[in-house]
Amino acid sequence: MTKLKRGMLNSDKKGLSPIIATLLLVAVVVTLSAIVFIWAGRFIPEVISKQGMPAEQACENLVLSATFEGGKVIITNSGNIPAYGISLFAKSRGRSERFDLEGSVMAGTSREFSSGIDEDGNTKSLRFDGPESMEIIPGILGEGETGKKVYKCEKIIVPVTIQ
């Protein structure tokens, strides 16, 4: 047993110096911190503004009304900012469908929509057999950190008058 101990004490193997170990530890911590920061950044929403105010506040300037007649949705914008990225929700025969309407409704104008893009990405006619109810949720085009972005004004739900 003494020979074994003596052999271990006379070993030429050396460990890491404390300075190198500390530098490696710091490098690992910095790398992990950067990874967590980048990962967590995806959960922070981008700030979108319109006319110098937050998008949520700008949505209050939308004043919309809508009617459905003969397979067409007519949206009137009486507000002072254009409506973009409008989604139409229609309930017919117990089924709910969502359509994204292409284009915009400029301030002070009306626009007809006869088709929309469904949830599968297909363009479909807006002809329904006796729709029970319809509503639209508008969006606005604002400025984000990476350019122009559509912001959905989810607090504004506009009922569609069915004629």
Cross-strand pairs, 125 = 115
State the chain's mean pLDDT as an integer. 85
User: pLDDT tens digits for 76-119?
Assistant: 999 989 999 999 998 887 788 888 998 899 999 999 998 888 88
Taking phi over 0 as left and psi of -120 to 50 as alpha, with beta for the rest, 51 belongs to left
pLDDT of residue 145: 81
Q: How confident is the model at residue 149 (pLDDT cuts 50, 70, 90)?
A: confident
Q: How confident is the model at residue 10 (pLDDT cuts 50, 70, 90)?
A: low
Range in 24-28, 109-113, 141-145, 157-161 with the lowest mean pLDDT: 141-145
pLDDT of residue 125: 85
Tell if the pTM clears 0.95, that is, is over it: no
Q: How far apart are CA 44 and CA 48, in angstroms?
A: 12
Q: How confident is the model at residue 55 (pLDDT cuts 50, 70, 90)?
A: confident
CB-count burial class (<10 Å; 0-12, 13-18, 19+) for 149: middle
Whether the per-residue pLDDT at 163 is higher than 90: the answer is: no
Q: How confident is the model at residue 35 (pLDDT cuts 50, 70, 90)?
A: very high
SS (H, E, C) the chain: CHHHHHHHHCCCCCCCCHHHHHHHHHHHHHHHHHHHHHHHHCCCCCCCEECCEEHHHHHHHCCEEEEEECCEEEEEECCCCCEEEEEEEEEECCEEEEEEEEEEECCCCEEEECEEECCCCCEEECCCCCCCEEEEEEEEEEEECCEEEEEECCCCCEEEEEC
pLDDT of residue 111: 94
